[in-house]
Amino acid sequence: MNDEYVLLKEDFLVSQTDKKGIITFANEDFCKVAGYTLDELVGQPHNMVRHHDMPKAAFKDLWDTVKGNDIWTGYVKNSIKGGGYYWVYATVYPMDDGYMSCRRKASPDEIEAAEKLYKTMR
Ligand SMILES: Cc1cc2nc3c(=O)[nH]c(=O)nc-3n(C[C@H](O)[C@H](O)[C@H](O)COP(=O)(O)O)c2cc1C
């Protein structure tokens, strides 16, 4: 129940938000891995999938970057509905009417490095 879901190499998780971080779209892979239906996600703040191990500073950096109209990349640990978690390598893009995140599998080495780094951050 608190297990890791290890992404498949073909998993490609996409979500979009408005300017305030409210989810406006999620693709099938995101719904499948996160454990939610599209209806449960749309209209909710994207922090609904936040995992408590993620430092606030990582998301501050994400928001500062995309609000500055730049592309943010980084490793993110997310919660799964009902328990469990998964790691991704995320690329977040600014768009005209909001933001889009595209996520793919992170390697075990990348996950280990991110875990170590995030333990030193708040
Ligand atoms: C396009 C986009 C995708 C995001 N994806 C995630 C995500 O997968 N997981 C996550 O915890 N936060 C994600 N965030 C950041 C959240 O909006 C939020 O800042 C974060 O969960 C921390 O919550 P807090 O801002 O309430 O502290 C995303 C933000 C944007 C703009």
**Segment 20-64, tens digit of pLDDT:** 999 999 999 999 999 999 999 999 999 999 999 999 999 999 999
- Residue 76 Cβ < 6 Å to ligand 1: yes
pLDDT of res. 1: 61
Nearest CA to ligand 1 atom 9: 50
Instruction: Point out the ligand 1 atom lying closest to the alpha carbon of residue 51.
Output: 11
What is the tens place of the pLDDT at every residue in 89-121? 999 999 999 999 999 999 999 999 999 999 999
Distance CA(3)–CA(114), nearest Å, equals 18
Taking alpha carbons only, the member of 63, 51, 91, 64 closest to residue 75 is 91
